[in-house]
Amino acid sequence: MQRIGVFVCWCGSNIASTVDVERVSEALKNEQGVVFSTNYQYMCSQAGQDLIKSAVKEHRLTGIVVCSCSPRMHEATFRKAARSAGINPYMVEIANIREQCSWVHKDIITGTEKAIILGKAAIAKVNLNAPLIPGESPVTKRALVIGGGIAGIQTALDIAEAGFLVDIVEKKPTIGGKMAQLDKTFPTLDCSACILTPKMVDVAQHEKIRIFSYSEVSSVKGFVGNFDVTIKKKARFVNENICTGCGACVEKCPQKKIPNEFNLGMDNRSAIYIPFAQAVPKVATIDPNACNMLKNGKCGLCARVCTAGAIDYTQKDEYIEEKYGAIVVATGFNPISMEKFDEYAYSQSRDVITSLEFERLTNAAGPTGGKLLRPSDNKHPHTIVFVQCVGSRCSVDSEKGKEYCSKICCMYTAKHAMLVRDKYPDTEVYVFYIDVRTPGKAFDEFYRRAVEEYGVHYIKGMVGKVVPEGEKLKVQASDLIENKQLHIDADLVVLAAAIEPDKSARGLATMLTASMDTNDFFTEAHPKLRPVESPTAGVFLSGTCQGPKDIPETVSQAGAAASKVIALLNKDKLLGNPCVAHSNEEICNGCSQCERVCPYGAISYINKEFKMPDRSIKTRRIAVVNPAICQGCGACTVTCPSGAMDLKGFTSKQIMAEVDAICR
């Protein structure tokens, strides 16, 4: 039999003006188990908490009901007060009579009636509450960062600087991501490589950081503080520890006609290659689909010229198993395919390019050595048309493109237009826009400079189609301000393609049981208050894998994710949430239904021996819940056909008692 105390809060006038608090505390006095009932102006204040503590002593309370605001607000406060009064914190229940009564009802009679009913329900539940003790688990003091773009790089550096071990898994042969491909960066126009490559070197030299390049995560098991991860290190046919990155092999390799991914296929590389001069790690990689030796055993030139003896044609994929306390996803983005937008003739003319290709064309380390030349004939373009929002801001029913604004393209298009006009004053540059979106420090000023100082023609309207004709690209567009249709003979058309999350992200999310939105961006635990944590404990988000971002925003988020990881790794033990599911092994028949609905992968099955009444032994398959992974969502308890699953702190009996109390 419980001895329950009821505490009704006024919340100043927030509750008291629409709920007759006096009547509520009076009415609840006679409920089963209640030995004390009172009301007070501010229950959450120090005085209010002291009131609870002294009542516990005086009336030897075993359970507490607080009728107040939402449990999201102050459940933790009252649980703490209970603990310091010597009661198990899970013996406290909150009846929300603010958000659910006073704030939604105008009439004091209805408000009061409902408050009494909610109070009765909470009391009915406390009568069945049992003390709960959270479990503890240790924390592995090492973090895994998946993706080695600027997001992953910054997160890794920040975690390592705090003294923890970090591994970066990057699927490409080098870290750096998209930022390594950019020329100059808005809004300050500093050279991308000049600010990125020192950070890449810092990563390579940091004693706490290991880089697994040309690698992928192939499985993730476990839970916050204790992830077991398998990393697949793809065979690169070069011994990373010996290769000095001298490039002799690259030079001698006879197979030189392979489209160079780093320059987006605008020039070629050899079968053995180093993506770019500042690659980290700076080691060669053999492309098995292009290498003559690997395809038909004929060649072997690189092995002959490599004085270090680093080439190993027999190298196999390697699987590495490691334990981590925290995982950060930093898998970044890619521009979408232009396939569904062929009105812009991307597939018909090499002189219609995406903005990322434009970055390579103006980059000193790019295919043209930084000279802006049209890909088709290497001629200098005079009339250049930029089209914004290609594939962004499309409605679902248009069945093309993405619904969201890609956020970075207004700014990088202004950058491109400005740089062209600065370097080649003989050009005419047009930018077609729907809106120019420049919220950011010094962003609008930057865009206005493109218009006012550099004479870029910004035209409010869209390009409808591009038709290659002879040497020209016939651009047909609208000018909505002048109410005209324009026909421009362009030499180069640049499409600001929408960006989307890396295609590998979905598979990774499934492995991590981390959730995604309909666009495959990772979702945050809370869009405002927990923006760098995923809803899955121990999994954090960094950079554009969570949503479109520029570099300053990416770096801020990367640091924020690192600080969350550091706070986690700093702990020696993690306290779990005791309100987790458990299966009654006597009733469970191992049907596997619960495993299928659990969004966190907390349920597994074991074969257990049971002694039968006739002393024989029978082996049965039963469900077991890992309390460290279970988030207490309750999906399994309502799914279990035999009623074996129950949620501690929210048992079916407790819920039914609440419902009964409400319907009484």
Partner 1 sequence: MNKAYPTEELLRISGVNPNKCMKCGKCSATCPAYDEMEYHPHQFVSMVNSGDIEPLMNSESIFKCLSCFACVDRCPRGVEPAKLIEAVRIAVVRKQGNNHLLADDVPNMLDDEIPQQAIVSAFRKYSK
Ligand X SMILES: Cc1cc2nc3c(=O)[nH]c(=O)nc-3n(C[C@H](O)[C@H](O)[C@H](O)COP(=O)(O)OP(=O)(O)OC[C@H]3O[C@@H](n4cnc5c(N)ncnc54)[C@H](O)[C@@H]3O)c2cc1C
Distance, CA of 221 to CA of 616 (rounded, Å): 36
* Of 105, 393, 472, 582, the one binding partner 1 by CB under 8 A: 393
Q: Applying CB under 8 A, which of residues 152, 176, 222, 401 lies at the interface with partner 1?
A: 401
Q: How many residues form the binding site for partner 1 (CB under 8 A)?
A: 25
Partner whose binding site includes residue 636, from partner 1, ligand X, ligand SF4, none (CB under 5 to 8 Å by kind): ligand SF4
Residue whose entry in the numeric block shows the structure tokens 């003896």: 309
Q: Which residues, other chains included, contact 526 with Cβ-Cβ below 8 Å and sequence gap of 6+? A: none
Question: Which two tokens mark 117?
Answer: 């009913």
Give yes or no for residue 351 binding ligand X (CB under 6 A): no
Rounded to an integer, what is the distance from CA 649 to the centroid of its chain? 31
Integer angstrom CA distances of residue 581 from 113, 510, 628: 34, 22, 11
Question: Look-up: residue for tokens 């999201």?
Answer: 72
Strands 63-68 and 92-96: parallel
Q: Which of 134, 265, 464, 468 binds partner 1 (CB under 8 A)?
A: 464
Residue 228: CA count within 13 A, CB half-sphere: 2
Please report how close the Cβ of residue 111 comes to partner 1 at its closest, in angstroms.
38
Handedness of CA 409, 414, 418, 424 (dihedral sign): positive
CA-based radius of gyration for the chain: 32
User: Per rule CB under 8 A, is residue 467 in the interface with partner 1?
Assistant: no
Q: Which amino acid appears at position 631 of this protein?
A: Q
Q: Does 395 bind partner 1 (CB under 8 A)?
A: yes
CA distance 212 to 167: 7
Q: Rule CB under 6 A: say whether 509 interacts with ligand X.
A: no
Amino acid at 124: A
Task: Give the integer Cα–Cα distance in Å for 292 and 300.
Answer: 8
CA distance 126 to 91: 6
Q: Least distance (Å) from ligand SF4 to the CB of residue 557?
A: 18
**Are residues 630 and 581 in contact, defined by beta-carbon separation less than 8 angstroms?**
yes
Query: Structure tokens of 590?
Result: 């191992």
Least distance from partner 1 to the Cβ atom of residue 463, Å: 6
Which two structure tokens, joined as six digits, stand for 429? 């540059």
Choose from ligand SF4, ligand X, partner 1, none: what does 549 bind? Cβ within 5-8 Å by kind.
ligand X
Could you tell which of ligand SF4, partner 1, ligand X, none binds residue 151, using a CB distance below 5 to 8 A set by kind? ligand X
Q: Select the binding partner of residue 485 from ligand SF4, ligand X, partner 1, none (C-beta < 5 to 8 A, by kind).
A: partner 1
Closest CA to 649 of 70, 128, 120: 128
Regarding beta strands 184-185 and 215-223, do their DSSP bridges make them parallel or antiparallel, or are they unpaired?
unpaired
Q: Which does 437 bind (CB under 5 to 8 A by kind): ligand SF4, partner 1, ligand X, none?
A: ligand SF4
Give, rounded to a whole angstrom, the gap between the first and last alpha carbons of the chain: 21
Query: Whole-angstrom Cα distance, residue 543 to residue 373?
Result: 32
461 binds partner 1 (CB under 8 A): yes
d(CA 622, CA 607): 6
Q: Is 465 in the site for partner 1 (CB under 8 A)?
A: yes
Which residue in 110, 476, 593, 651 binds partner 1 (CB under 8 A)? 476
Cα 572 from Cα 577, distance rounded (Å): 17
Candidates 643, 637, 601, 606; CA nearest to 623 is 606
Q: What is the nearest approach in angstroms of ligand SF4 to the Cβ of residue 282?
A: 8
* Minimum CB distance to ligand SF4, residue 346 (Å): 17
CB nearer to ligand SF4: give 199 or 236.
236
The two counts, helices (H) then strands (E), for the chain are 17, 34
Binding-site member from 415, 421, 437, 648 for ligand X (CB under 6 A): 415
- Interface characters, 354-383, with ligand X (x: CB under 6 A): -xx--x------------------------
606 binds partner 1 (CB under 8 A): no
Total Cβ atoms within 10 A of residue 333: 25
> Which is closer to ligand SF4, CB of 150 or CB of 250?
250
Q: Give min distance, CB of 438 to partner 1, in A.
A: 18
Tokens 């659990």 correspond to 598
Looking at the Cβ atoms of 99 and 261, the one nearer to ligand X is: 261
373 binds, among partner 1, ligand SF4, ligand X, none (CB under 5 to 8 A by kind): none
Nearer to ligand X, 76 or 201 (CB): 201
Number of neighbours of residue 558 by Cβ within 10 angstroms? 29
Q: How many CA atoms does the CB half-sphere of 195 hold within 13 Å?
A: 16
Residue 635 partner contact from partner 1, ligand SF4, ligand X, none using kind-dependent CB cut-offs of 5 to 8 Å: ligand SF4
Examine residue 348 and tell whether it contacts partner 1 (CB under 8 A): no
Task: State yes or no: residue 398 binds partner 1 (CB under 8 A).
Answer: yes
Binding ligand X (rule: CB under 6 A), the pick from 5, 147, 576, 590 is 147
Question: For ligand X, which residue has the nearest CB?
Answer: 149
Q: Which does residue 472 bind out of ligand SF4, partner 1, ligand X, none, counting CB within 5 to 8 angstroms by kind?
A: none
The tokens describing 637, both together, are: 């308890």
Is residue 541 within the footprint of ligand X (CB under 6 A)? no
CB of 449 to ligand X, least distance (A): 14
Tell me the closest approach of the beta carbon of residue 432 to partner 1, in angstroms: 8
Dist. CA 323–CA 170, nearest whole Å: 17
Residue 484 CB, nearest distance to partner 1 (Å)?
9
Contacts to ligand X from residues 437-496, by CB under 6 A: none
DSSP letter for 159, please: H
How far is residue 67's CA from residue 424's CA, in Å, rounded to a whole number? Answer: 72
Near ligand X in 155-184, by CB under 6 A: 169-172, 177-179, 182
Closest distance to ligand SF4 from the beta carbon of 70 (Å): 22
With respect to ligand SF4, which residue has the nearer C-beta, 48 or 632?
632
Contacts of residue 363, Cβ cutoff 8 Å, sequence gap at least 6:
181, 182, 183, 370
* Interaction site with ligand SF4 (CB under 6 A): 238, 243-249, 283-284, 305-306, 308, 310-311, 388-389, 392-393, 405-407, 409-410, 435, 437, 496, 580-581, 597-598, 600, 602-603, 625, 630-636, 647
Per CB under 6 A, which of residues 612..631 are in contact with ligand X?
none
- Alpha-carbon gap, residue 224 to 456, rounded angstroms: 52
180 or 636, CB closer to ligand X?
Answer: 180
Query: Across-strand partners of 467?
Result: 474
* The entry of partner 1, ligand X, ligand SF4, none that residue 462 binds, CB within 5 to 8 Å by partner kind: partner 1
CA distance 634 to 648: 10
Indicate which of partner 1, ligand X, ligand SF4, none lies near residue 367 (CB less than 5 to 8 Å, by partner kind). none
Instruction: Give the CA dihedral 600, 602, 604, 609, nearest 10 degrees.
Output: -160
Residue 468 touching partner 1 (CB under 8 A): no
Q: Which residues bind ligand X (CB under 6 A)?
A: 146-152, 169-172, 177-179, 182, 185-186, 216, 330-333, 335, 355-356, 359, 408, 412, 415, 502, 504, 508, 543-544, 549-552, 554
Q: Which residues bind partner 1 (CB under 8 A)?
A: 343, 389, 393-401, 434, 460-465, 476-480, 483, 485
